[in-house]
Structure 1
Amino acid sequence: MKINSQPQQTLETPRANADDLNQSAQKRDKTYKLRKKQMRCRKRLQRNQQQMEERLSAAKDMMNSFVGTVCEAPHHLVDNEFIRHGYRIGYDNSVGAIFRSMFHLHNEFVNVWSHFCGSMFFIGLMLYTLFYLSSMRSGIEIIQNDFDQHRHHELPHYFQKQLIDLQSEIDYINDSSQPETIFQKMILRIEGLSQLFIQELQNAQHFITEEEHIIEEKIHYWKEQVTHYPQVLREKINVVQAMMQEQLDLESEEHFHNNISYSRLNYLHSAMENFQSKMIDFQHSVMGRIDQMKWLDLHETSKPIEDVDQYLNYVSRWPLFANMASAAICMGFSAIFHLFFVYSQDACSWLARLDYAGITILIFGSAMPVTNYLFAYIRIIFMCILSGMSSLVFIVSMVPWFSHPSLKALRGTVFGVYAQAKYINQYLHFSDPTYMLQGKANVYIFGGFFYLIGAILYSTRFPERCKPGQFDICGQSHQLFHFCVMIGASIHYYENLQVFYQRQQFFCPIK
C-alpha cells in the first residue's frame, strides 16, 4: 500500500495547484472589476459634484448680478451720466454670466446686437465677393484651363473651335428665355479669348523654326493668324454689342452691370485692334533677327505686350476684401467691448482702446478701394500718406488716457477729421474730367456724412441729454452712432463696388 499511495499523491498535487491558480486568477479578476467599477463611480460622483458646483456658482452669479440704476453701478461702467437705468451690475469676473447677458435687456443690448449683426453682414459680403462676385479675369481662367487640357491640338484648330462655340452662343441667344445669362457667358468667353490670342500669337516660337527652306511660309502663316483671329473676334464683339443694344436696357441705373459689360466689350475691341498694330512692328523685329541668323536670341526678343493682365486692365478684388474685413473687424471689436467691458475695470479700459482702434481700421480699410482704383498708377504715394495718418490715429487711440469719458468730444473730433481727411486727395481730382470717377464725389461725401453725423451725436450725447432717462434702453446717441457707421460703411462698399467695375473700362489717366 505504501508503494501504491506515493504515485497517487504525486498525480493529485499538480491538479490541486492548477485549481488554486484558477481560483487565484478569478479572485484577481473580480478584484480588478470591482476596483474599476469603484473608479467609475468615483468619476461619476466627481462629475456630478463639479456640475452641481458650476450650477451653484451660476445661481450665485445670477443672484449677485442684476440690471440696476446709475447710482448702483461702479464708476467705470458709467460712460454717459444721462443714461440712468439698465446697467449690468455684479457681472465681475464671470464670462458665462456676461455672455448670457447678451440675451437680457439692458442699456448695452442694442449696442451689442447692432454691431454683432453688422459684423456678420460684412463677413457675408466677403463670402459673396469670394464666391459670386464676377471678375473679368474669371473668363481667362475658364479658357486657360480648357486650353491646358487640349494642348495636343494645334493652336489654330483650338482658336477656330472656340470661335465656333462663341458663334453658337450668339445663334442661341434669340431662343433663350434668359438672355442676360447667355450674354455674360459670351462676354467671359470673349475675355478669355482676348487674353489667349495676345498670349499665344505674340509667342514667335509657336510659328518660327530654324528650317530655312520654309521660313518664308512660316512667317506668312504667322501673319495670317495674327490678322485673322483678332479680326474675327472683333467682328463677334460688334455682333454681341448690337444684340445687347436690342435686347437689354443699357441706360437704366438698375441695369448697371449690363452697361459695364457693354463698355468692357468696347475696351476689348480696341485692345484687339491695338494688338494687331503692335504685332506688325514685332514681326519686323523678329524677321530682322532671323536675317542676322540670331536664332538663339529669338526667345529673348521683347514681346510687344509683356504684362497681358495689365494690358487688358484686370483689376484686383483685394481692396474690396480690405474694405469688408475692416468693417467686420471694427464692428466685431465694438460688439466685444459693449458685451464684456463689465468684466472688470482693467478689461473696460483695454477693450475701450480696442474699440477705438477698430474705428481706425474701418476708416483705413474703407479708403483702400477708392485709393487703389482711382490712383491706379500712383496709389503707392497715397497709400503711404493714408498709412501714416492711420498709424498715428491708431497709436493715439491705444493710449490709456484717450478712452477717458471726459474726452468723448475729442475722440469724436479726431475720428471725424480723420474720416474726411483720407479723401482730400480724391476730392482734388474728382473735378478732373479725365478721371473716370467724375461725379462720384457726392456719393462718397454722402457716406462720410453719416460718419460725421454719428460722430456729432456721439460727442454731444444727443438726444439723451435733452431727456435723461428716456433713452436708456433704445434711442441713445451711441446706438444712433452705431447705425450711422453701418449705413456709411454700406454706402461706401456699394460705391467701391461700382468703382471696381468702372476701373476695368478705363486706364488711370496718369499712366
Structure 2
Amino acid sequence: MEEEEPMVGALRCNEFGLVKEEKGRKLWKKVKYQLVEYHSLPGFLKDNEYILGSYRAEWPLKQILLSIFTIHNETLNVWTHLIGFFIFLALTIYTATKVPKVVDLHSLQQLPDVLRKADLQKLQSEIVACLPSLPHLSNLQRLKDEFKTSLPSMDILPSLSNWQVLELLSNCLPQRFSNGNQTNRSMKEDVANMIAPLLVRPIPRWPFFAFLGGAMFCLLASSICHLLSCHSRRLAYIMLRLDYAGIAALISTSFYPPVYYSFMCNPFFCNLYLISITVLGIATITASLLPVFQTPEYRAIRAGLFFGMGVSGVVPVVHKLIMFRHRPEALYTTGYEVLMGTLYGLGALVYATRIPERWKPGKFDIAGHSHQLFHVLVVAGAFTHYKAGLVYLKWRDLEGC
C-alpha cells in the first residue's frame, strides 16, 4: 500500500491538471472572440479613436463570417451597404425587364378594345391618306411610300425624330378611335404604346447598366471590406484596396448616363467627357494602392480625392444646361444630379470630420457614427441618380438625335 500511494497521488494530480487545462481552454475560447476596446487593437485596426469599443480583432474567418449576425461596431456598416446592394440588384432586374419599353405608361391590354383589335392594314391605309395634311413634316412623300410597303419596317426614318413619328401617327389616327371609353391618358400616348415598338428602337442601355454595375460593385465591396478587415493585416490591406476601387467605380460610372445621353448626338464631347472621367477613376484607384493611402492621417486626403472626382462632373452638367436650356428634361435631370452631388458631398464631409462621434466619444460605437451615416447617404445618392437615369432614357428614346 505504501508503494501505491505515490501513484494514486500522481493520478489525482494528473486528473486535476487535465480538468484545469480543459477549463482553461474553454475559458480561452470564450474570451478569445469577445469584443475589445480601441486601446487593445493592433495598429492596422486603429482608424477612429472616437469609437472606443465593440471591436473585433484578429478573429478566424469562421467567426468573422458568423459575426455578420451579431452586434459590434461594424454590424451596421456591413448591412447598410449590403441592403443597398440588394436594392440595386432588384433595380437592375427591373430595368432590364421593364424600362426598355419606349413609352412606359400602361400596358397594351389596358387600351380600349376598339383600338386593341384594330385592323393594322386598314389603319395603315387611313394614316397614309392623312399624310398630305401634315406639310410641316419633312420627306412626307418618302415616308408615305415606306408606309405603304410595310408598317413594321418603319425603323428607317432617319429624317424624323421618334416623337415626330409618334405625333404623326396620333394626329392621323382615324376619328372613330377617339370615340371609345378612354382613360385619362391621351390618345397620342395610347397610340405610342401600341405602335412605337414597331417604329422605334430604344437607344443603347449600356451606360445605364454600367452605372448600376458600378453601384452594386461599390456597395458589395464595402460590405465585404467591413466584414473581413478585422481578420489580419494582410487581408485588411486587400479589402481596403477593394473598397477604394469600389468608390472610384461608383463615381466614374455615375457620369456615364448623363454624359452619354446628353451628348450622344455630339460624339466629340461625349467621348471627351467619358474618357476623362474614366482616366480620373483609374488614377484614383492606382493612388489608392499606395500603403500610405489608408493611414488615418490621410483621411481628409482620401475624402478630398473622391470628392474632387464628384465635383469634376459640374463641367458636363453645365454644358448640358447650356445646350438644352429650353428642355424640361435637362432641368429635371440636373435637379436629380444636384441632389445626388449634395448627398455624396455631405457623406464625404461626415466621413472626414467624424461627426457625431467626435462630439461624444463612445456614445455612437454601435449605431449612429459617421461611417454608417456616410453609407446611408451614398445609397440615397445612388438611388437619386437612378431616378435621373430613367428620365434620360425616356427622353432619348422619344427624341433620338
Query: In 1, distance between residues paired with 2:223 and 2:349?
Result: 21
| Alignment counterpart, residue 226 of structure 1, candidates 148, 156, 178 | 148
Determine if the alignment matches structure 1 residue 117 to structure 2 residue 83: yes
Query: In 1, distance between residues paired with 2:148 and 2:378?
Result: 53
Query: In 2, distance between residues paired with 1:65 and 1:228?
Result: 73
Query: In 2, distance between residues paired with 1:172 and 1:477?
Result: 59
Aligned to 1:439: 331
Deviation of 1:385 after TM superposition, in Å, equals: 1.6
Aligned to 1:484: 377
Deviation of 1:234 after TM superposition, in Å, equals: 5.8
Deviation of 1:225 after TM superposition, in Å, equals: 6.5
Partner amino acid, structure 2, of 1:449: T
Query: In 2, distance between residues paired with 1:492 and 1:87?
Result: 34
Query: In 2, distance between residues paired with 1:324 and 1:58?
Result: 48
Q: Kindly tell me: are residues 498 and 228 of structure 1, through their superposed partners in 2, closer, same or farther at Cα, counting changes over 3 Å?
A: closer
Q: Superposed, which structure 2 residues align to 1:492-511 within 5 Å?
A: 492-508=385-401
- Give the stretch that moved more between structures: 223-232 or 72-81: 223-232
Deviation of 1:133 after TM superposition, in Å, equals: 2.8
Query: In 2, distance between residues paired with 1:501 and 1:350?
Result: 41
- Give the stretch that moved more between structures: 363-372 or 377-386: 377-386
Partner amino acid, structure 1, of 2:242: L
Query: In 1, distance between residues paired with 2:388 and 2:74?
Result: 31
Q: Could you say which structure has the higher helix fraction?
A: 1
Decide whether the 8 Å contact of 2:252 with 2:278 is kept in 1. Answer: yes
- Give the stretch that moved more between structures: 369-378 or 328-337: 369-378
Q: Could you list the runs of 5+ residues in structure 2 that have no partner in the other structure?
A: 1-24, 128-143, 155-164
Query: In 2, distance between residues paired with 1:126 and 1:368?
Result: 16
Q: Superposed, which structure 2 residues align to 1:55-204 within 5 Å?
A: 62-91=30-59, 94-136=60-102, 170-172=112-114
Aligned to 1:248: 184
| Alignment counterpart, residue 460 of structure 1, candidates 349, 353, 372 | 353
Decide whether the 8 Å contact of 1:436 with 1:502 is kept in 2. Answer: no
Query: In 1, distance between residues paired with 2:279 and 2:179?
Result: 50
Q: Superposed, which structure 2 residues align to 1:14-29 within 5 Å?
A: none
Q: Could you list the runs of 5+ residues in structure 1 that have no partner in the other structure?
A: 1-56, 139-165, 174-181, 198-221, 251-257, 269-307
Query: In 1, distance between residues paired with 2:85 and 2:26?
Result: 30
Deviation of 1:170 after TM superposition, in Å, equals: 4.8
Q: Kindly tell me: are residues 132 and 225 of structure 1, through their superposed partners in 2, closer, same or farther at Cα, counting changes over 3 Å?
A: closer
Aligned to 1:29: none
Deviation of 1:129 after TM superposition, in Å, equals: 1.7
Aligned to 1:42: none
**Overall identity of the aligned pairs, in %:** 28
- Tell me which structure has the larger Cα radius of gyration: 1
Partner amino acid, structure 1, of 2:184: L
Decide whether the 8 Å contact of 1:464 with 1:471 is kept in 2. Answer: yes
Deviation of 1:365 after TM superposition, in Å, equals: 1.5
Query: Aligned Cα RMSD in Å?
Result: 4.0
| Alignment counterpart, residue 384 of structure 1, candidates 275, 280, 289 | 275
Determine if the alignment matches structure 1 residue 370 to structure 2 residue 338: no
Q: Kindly tell me: are residues 76 and 247 of structure 1, through their superposed partners in 2, closer, same or farther at Cα, counting changes over 3 Å?
A: same
Deviation of 1:314 after TM superposition, in Å, equals: 2.5
SS of equivalent residue, structure 1 residue 68:
coil
Partner amino acid, structure 1, of 2:40: E
Decide whether the 8 Å contact of 2:211 with 2:250 is kept in 1. Answer: yes
SS of equivalent residue, structure 2 residue 55:
strand
Decide whether the 8 Å contact of 1:462 with 1:477 is kept in 2. Answer: yes
Deviation of 1:109 after TM superposition, in Å, equals: 0.5
1:266-310 deviation line (CA, Å, top 9, x unaligned): x96xxxxxxxxxxxxxxxxxxxxxxxxxxxxxxxxxxxxxxx99x
Q: Kindly tell me: are residues 357 and 223 of structure 1, through their superposed partners in 2, closer, same or farther at Cα, counting changes over 3 Å?
A: closer
So what's the TM-score if we normalise by structure 1? 0.58
Indicate the structure whose relative CO is greater, using CA pairs within 8 Å and at least 6 residues apart: 2
Partner amino acid, structure 2, of 1:226: K
Partner amino acid, structure 2, of 1:75: G
Query: In 2, distance between residues paired with 1:244 and 1:504?
Result: 29
Q: Kindly tell me: are residues 60 and 117 of structure 1, through their superposed partners in 2, closer, same or farther at Cα, counting changes over 3 Å?
A: farther
1:34-64 deviation line (CA, Å, top 9, x unaligned): xxxxxxxxxxxxxxxxxxxxxxx99965541
Deviation of 1:108 after TM superposition, in Å, equals: 0.4
Q: Kindly tell me: are residues 228 and 376 of structure 1, through their superposed partners in 2, closer, same or farther at Cα, counting changes over 3 Å?
A: closer
So what's the TM-score if we normalise by structure 2? 0.72
Determine if the alignment matches structure 1 residue 426 to structure 2 residue 394: no
1:472-498 deviation line (CA, Å, top 9, x unaligned): 100000000000000000000011112
Q: Kindly tell me: are residues 79 and 436 of structure 1, through their superposed partners in 2, closer, same or farther at Cα, counting changes over 3 Å?
A: same
Query: In 1, distance between residues paired with 2:388 and 2:172?
Result: 32
Decide whether the 8 Å contact of 2:57 with 2:231 is kept in 1. Answer: no
Partner amino acid, structure 2, of 1:64: K
Q: Kindly tell me: are residues 466 and 241 of structure 1, through their superposed partners in 2, closer, same or farther at Cα, counting changes over 3 Å?
A: farther
Deviation of 1:104 after TM superposition, in Å, equals: 1.2
Decide whether the 8 Å contact of 2:343 with 2:380 is kept in 1. Answer: yes
- Give the stretch that moved more between structures: 450-459 or 427-436: 427-436
Decide whether the 8 Å contact of 1:87 with 1:106 is kept in 2. Answer: yes
Determine if the alignment matches structure 1 residue 343 to structure 2 residue 231: yes
Partner amino acid, structure 2, of 1:102: I
Query: In 2, distance between residues paired with 1:71 and 1:223?
Result: 82
Aligned to 1:332: 220
1:199-238 deviation line (CA, Å, top 9, x unaligned): xxxxxxxxxxxxxxxxxxxxxxx95963896899666657
Q: Kindly tell me: are residues 96 and 236 of structure 1, through their superposed partners in 2, closer, same or farther at Cα, counting changes over 3 Å?
A: farther
Partner amino acid, structure 1, of 2:279: G
Partner amino acid, structure 1, of 2:280: M
Partner amino acid, structure 2, of 1:88: R
Aligned to 2:243: 355
Q: Kindly tell me: are residues 123 and 134 of structure 1, through their superposed partners in 2, closer, same or farther at Cα, counting changes over 3 Å?
A: same
Decide whether the 8 Å contact of 2:103 with 2:394 is kept in 1. Answer: no
